[in-house]
Every structure is written in C-alpha cells, then in structure tokens.
Amino acid sequence: MEVLDLSVLLAILVALVAYISKGKLWAMDGNDTYASPYGASGFETSDLVETMKKTGKKAIVFYGSQTGTAEDYALKFAKEFQSKFKIPTMTADLADVSFENLQNIRDEIPDFKLAAFFMATYGEGEPTDNAIEFFDYLDNECDELPDLKYVCFGLGNSTYEFYNAIGKKTVEQLNSKGASLIGELGLGDDGKGTMDEDYLEWKDKLFDLIKDQLHLEEQAVKYEPSIAVVENEKLTTSSPLVSLGEPNSHYLNPKTDEEVKLLKTGPFDHTHPYLAPIQNTKELFNSETRHCIHAEFDLSNTNLKYSTGDHVAIWPSNSNEKVEKFLAILGLTEKKDKVIDLKSLDPTTHLPFPTPTTYDTVLRHYLEISGPVSRQFVKSARQFCPDSETEAKIPAIADDKDIFHKNVTEKYLNIADCLEVLSSGVKWDTIPFSFIIESVAKLQPRYYSISSSSSMEKQTVHVTAVVEQEKPSTSDHYVTGVATNLLLDIKKHQNKEESKLIDNFDLEGPRGKFHNKLPIHIRRSTFKLPSNPATPIILVGPGTGAAPFRGFIREKIKQVENGVNIGEILFFFGCRKSTEDFIYKEEWVEYAKKLDNKFKMITAFSRETEKKVYVQDKLLENAAKVVELLDKGAFFYVCGDAANMARAVQLALVKIYQEQKKVTEDIAMTMGKQLRVNNRYQEDVW
C-alpha cells in the first residue's frame, strides 16, 4: 500500500473513531472523567438499553438543554421520581445516546417504567444543539413507539413568538408514533419568571397520575446521594491536581503539547471556553448609581473567530461576599480551602465539575448561589434542619406558593439569605455538601450581543453590558447580577478606580490564571446584515439593544472604506436621558460623519419630557420614512428587551403599515409576518 493511501486510511480511521465517540475522546483526560461544565456522560456506551440493563435502571429522563437549565430540572425530576417511587432512574443528554432501542425498549427491559423529556426551546423556536439528532431520528428513522409511556416538560419564554415550540413538537411527534403521554405537557415560562412554580405545579399533579397509571407505591421522599463528597487529608490547594475553579480539566493540568494547544485552538464552546485577555474596559453611563460597561476581549492569540452579530458567552464566578455568606451559613468558613474528592455513586451520574476541588471553589466557580432560591429547594432542605424550630417553620413558608412569594421571592432572598432567615442565623452544618451540589443549579455562562464588527476588529470582541444592581422596595438589600458586577469590578481594577463596590470578586482566579482574563466562547447567531450591502437597514435598539447595531454600523464603515456602495441606515435609539445613559454618544456622531448622508439616528429619551417617549413612538413619528425604506427592500432589526419593547415595536410596525398603506389591521399584520418569513424582520431580544 502506498504511503499516501495509508495516511488517507489513517485519517479516515481517526475521523471514524472521533465520530463514534461523539467527541468524548477529546473530552476525557486521565485526571478525571469531567469534560463539560454541565458534566460529561458517565456512560461507557451510547447504547441506551445496554447502559440501562447494566445499571438496573427502569426509567430515563432525557434533556434537550442549551444553557443547562433543562438539565438541572431533569436531574431534579429524576432524583425525586427515583426517591418517591423507588424506581432506579437515570438522566441522559439527548446527544449522548442512540435512540434505536427506544422502539422496542420493553422487549429488552420488560419492567421499563417511564421516559421523561425536559425540552428547552432555543432561538426562534429551534431545538437545542443537543436535541437536533433526536428530532432527526424521530423524523427519519423512528417508525413506531407504541410501548413508550412518557412525560414531557418544556422550558420556554412567553415573550417569544414560538413559545415552548420544542416541548410541543416533542409531544406531537412522540404521540404520532404511538407513544402515550401521561398527564399534560408541562410549560415552564421564563418570560414570566415562573419556571420554578410552573415546574412544581406540573410535577405535583403528574406524580399522582403516574402513581395511578403505572401502579406505583409511593414513599416519603428522602435525599439519596448520587455523589459522595469525601474530605481529602493528603492534598492541599498547592497540589497541581486540585481544581481551584479552572473551567474544565484541560485548564487544570495540561500535560501533553496537544492539551496545551487545545487551550489556544479549541474548539471552544459551552463545554470548553477560551481564557480571553481583557484589553480595555470603560464606563458608558454618566451616573453615580447606574453602570454600563464596555469591555474588549482579545482573540489575537487564538484561532477563535466571530462574525458581526454573533453572541459571546462570558463565564462568571460568584462574588466574595456571596461565597463567604454561603460558606458561613453551612458552617464551612474554617474549612473553605479543605480539599474534597467527589465520587459518583451511580455509574450513570456524571461529576458536574473537576475533582478534587475545595468547598470555596465549588461555591465560587461552579454553582449558581446568587440568584433566587426555589420553593423546591426549601422544601427539600427541611430534612436537614439544624433544629426543630427551623423544621417547624418550613411547611408554613414553603407549602403555599403565595406565602413563599411574599416571604422569600419578594424579599429577593438567595439560598444563603433564606437559610439564614429560616434558622434565625443558626448554622446549617447539618446539610450534606453533596445535597448542595446536587440541588443547586450549575453556574451558567451569560450571553452578550457582540458590539464590535469582525471586519473592523477581527481579533477583538466588544461587549456592552448594563450592570444589574438595584434595591427593590420589598427587599432590605441590593440585588445584584453575577457577570455584570464582575465586569464592573474588573473595570474598577483595570482603571485603578477607588470606588467601593457592592460585590467584589477574586479577579486573579485559580492560580492567578484569570488575571485580566475571563473564560469566553462564541455562539453563532442568525442576526445578520443583508448579504447585499446596498440594502437599506432599519435598526431599533434602545439601551444595550444598541450593542449589535454598533457592530453593524462599524461593519458598514468598513464597507465604505473598501469602496462598497451601502444602503441607508435608519437607527432608532432610546434611553432615559441624553446626559445619563446615552451609550456611545460621541461615537455615533463620528459614525454619522464617516457614513455621510447614509446614516440617520433618531433618539427617544423617556425621562426628559413629561410624557415618556420610547423608540416605538419615534417609529410611528417616522412612519413614512420607515415604509419608504421597507418598500426599497430594507431589513428591519430589533434588539434588546423582549418583554415589552420588542412587542411594542411589532405593534408599531403593524400600525405604520395600516396608516401608510391604508390597509386593515389583518393585512398589516400579514405584511409584518411576511417580512419575518423573508428573513427581513430579525430580532435579537432577551
């Protein structure tokens, strides 16, 4: 055989192995079995039935998850189902299993009980990346599923047009194959902020139905650990084996040249970020109390690429204040740097982060400890109360959702706040740390619309982030967001400012690796300029909704510099006051000069006049111009607040069509819809 043939064969073999392993070879290293921030699969094989047979499982909970929320709910459901009905249950990432055996699952596992699907809807009603193959299987390979009894909970956002489309599609498709849905499809609504309560309501009703229909015996729910946490007396934090918050095991201890290269070349995604240097940070607001940060991430040392309109994900860590409070209420302050080993007690349970590690690291880098506490968490924590008085208080607070709302949610308590209030400050050193790891959601990356242009700044990603901090009237403390307050702290240190912040962070990170750096990855977006530069564009972006439009406009300037003929740009921007939160105020003036008569900016300041003025009002005022550009084929873009602004803009456009084209509301709505169908109405809203 010729050398060339041999090398081709070898390449095919490598590709085949990589394909069969679905990237798992890349994901593993000798140190631990961790790869994903949400955990790598613990299965030895992707064959569902084989895994279930080997591990004695009788039920399976699948998740289609993009950011980890659906996965968190799937894990919670699996744990409670197993504990309540004593049915060995496993969870599975939809991307990690092959589905062929789903069809005849009862032939293989005669006492198979139930499949559950936790399905997030992503973007414009699309499946999450890990669910694409599953729908492909249902569409093209699956004939019938008559044996399958299942339940389904969808995770969506009612401010989006395609609310819970994937949950609905899952049920539709499975039912059409003859599978039987127990109960109703659960609909979790992130838009109304009721995901937890939606889940609890659905689950509580469902468990009664499941009990009856599957003839199951119910037991008192008792926490059964799937992970053991064992203090390690031999290692200290100075050991290179101990994770101190490295995003994954490759960052912990890269041994080979290949592993070192991986940190520079990726591929980078939600399991493996790039540790990007932060070149420059600055304040964009002119206010004592409100902040908006511009931050620039340097990509020049990596092959990580982005294109104008994409999103960047920033991987945050929790603040010192939040971590210290959590450690204190668990009675772990003295032991915060003690090394702990995590061990999976169930072959199908993956470890959610690298091990060995420390208590402080887990709370700082891997768990979502800062956000609101869920009623479910409080109910489950009852079994570990430090004293009988605390135990007696819990049902009164956690059994009724309205009382919980008034006493906990409205007061903006996080987990540590809530535990402290319930026990009147007595330490909860009775809670197993494994319970914390298994019950608290994993800390997720935060997404930002990139505000730079890949043509103008190929190797730099700009972010424009408004800092989340407020003191609601029903709360006695400031409520702060994680990533944005971290950016604020980084800006303070980079610019050597003296200011005192509510939240302060460990900016050096594990072993000093995060000094002036943060882990990031890029997520491709469909929010893109028209391919023909001469097509006019209408941009509606109040507040930080202006972020991607700054990128679009910089892209247009580059096109002009390259001698390209560009179309008109009509940009509607809004904020409270022209003197306070008018972000990039000077830049827009410069852009207008460079783009000459092609660029027009129309501003709406909501707090400068007696009657509040918003971008939708300005759209109506400029109705004739909007329609003139749309008639010339303009693309219409909306970015920013999904809950109110995006809907108000849609309604304004219908009104504009109605008035300008003298048509009925129905026809105007159809015209608006047609724009969307033709990809000429694009939204990047959150």
The annotation status of 686 as a binding-site residue, yes or no, is: yes
Residue tagged active-site, from 449, 452, 453, 525: 449
Q: In the block, which residue shows the tokens 């001469």?
A: 534
At 461, which amino acid appears?
V
How many Å separate Cα 520 from the centre of its chain? 13
> Can you tell me the distance from the alpha carbon of 20 to that of 557, in angstroms, rounded to the nearest whole number?
46
Is 327 in contact with 360 (CB distance < 8 Å)? Answer: yes
At 95, which amino acid appears?
A
> Can you tell me the distance from the alpha carbon of 210 to that of 450, in angstroms, rounded to the nearest whole number?
46
- Give min distance, CB of 444 to ligand FAD, in A: 8
Instruction: Compare residues 109 and 465 and give the one whose CB is closer to ligand FAD.
Output: 465
The annotation status of 80 as a binding-site residue, yes or no, is: no
> Can you tell me the distance from the alpha carbon of 310 to that of 126, in angstroms, rounded to the nearest whole number?
17
At 104, which amino acid appears?
N
Instruction: Compare residues 185 and 487 and give the one whose CB is closer to ligand FAD.
Output: 487
Binding of ligand FAD by 69 (CB under 6 A): no
Residue tagged active-site, from 29, 310, 506, 684: 684
Sole binder of ligand FAD in the list 73, 117, 377, 448 (CB under 6 A): 448
Classify 27 as helix, strand or coil. Answer: helix
Complete edge-to-edge strand list for the sheet that includes strand 311-314: 446-449, 311-314, 517-523, 274-283, 292-298, 460-466
**226 counts as catalytic:** no
Binding of ligand FAD by 468 (CB under 6 A): yes
**449 counts as catalytic:** yes
Q: Which residue is nearest to ligand FAD (CB)?
A: 481
Instruction: Compare residues 229 and 397 and give the one whose CB is closer to ligand FAD.
Output: 397
Binding of ligand FAD by 583 (CB under 6 A): no
How many of the chain's residues bind ligand FAD (CB under 6 A)?
Answer: 25
Helices in 287-387 by DSSP H: which ranges?
Answer: 320-329, 359-361, 375-381
Binding of ligand FAD by 449 (CB under 6 A): yes
How many Å separate Cα 621 from the centre of its chain? 37
Looking at residues 313 to 372 of the shown chain, list those that interact with ligand FAD (rule: CB under 6 A).
316, 370-372
**374 counts as catalytic:** no
Q: Which of 77, 348, 33 is nearest to 202 (CA)?
A: 77
Sole binder of ligand FAD in the list 480, 559, 616, 658 (CB under 6 A): 480
> Can you tell me the distance from the alpha carbon of 94 to that of 117, in angstroms, rounded to the nearest whole number?
9
Binding of ligand FAD by 465 (CB under 6 A): yes
Sole binder of ligand FAD in the list 452, 464, 622, 682 (CB under 6 A): 464
Binding of ligand FAD by 466 (CB under 6 A): yes
Stretch that binds ligand FAD, among 137-145, 445-453, 554-562, 575-583 (CB under 6 A): 445-453
**Strand 599-605 relative to strand 569-575: parallel, antiparallel, unpaired?**
parallel
Instruction: Compare residues 342 and 479 and give the one whose CB is closer to ligand FAD.
Output: 479
- Give min distance, CB of 504 to ligand FAD, in A: 15
**684 counts as catalytic:** yes
> Can you tell me the distance from the alpha carbon of 360 to that of 243, in angstroms, rounded to the nearest whole number?
11
The annotation status of 159 as a binding-site residue, yes or no, is: yes
Neighbours of 345 (CB within 10 A): 11
Classify 422 as helix, strand or coil. Answer: helix
- Give min distance, CB of 412 to ligand FAD, in A: 4
Sole binder of ligand FAD in the list 481, 519, 536, 542 (CB under 6 A): 481
Q: Phi and psi at residue 310, in whole multiples of 5°?
A: -70, 170
Looking at residues 515 to 554 of the shown chain, list those that interact with ligand FAD (rule: CB under 6 A).
544, 547
Instruction: Compare residues 32 and 310 and give the one whose CB is closer to ligand FAD.
Output: 310
Q: Which of 630, 645, 644 is nearest to 676 (CA)?
A: 630
CA 298, 303, 309 angle in degrees (round to 5)? 65
Binding of ligand FAD by 285 (CB under 6 A): no
**Under the rule (CB under 6 A), what is the footprint of ligand FAD?**
311, 316, 370-372, 412-414, 446-449, 464-466, 468, 479-484, 544, 547, 686
Annotated binding site: 65-70, 120-123, 155-164, 190, 290, 446-449, 464-466, 481-484, 544, 606-607, 612-616, 686
Annotated binding site for FMN: 65-70, 120-123, 155-164, 190
Could you list the active site residues?
449, 639, 684, 686
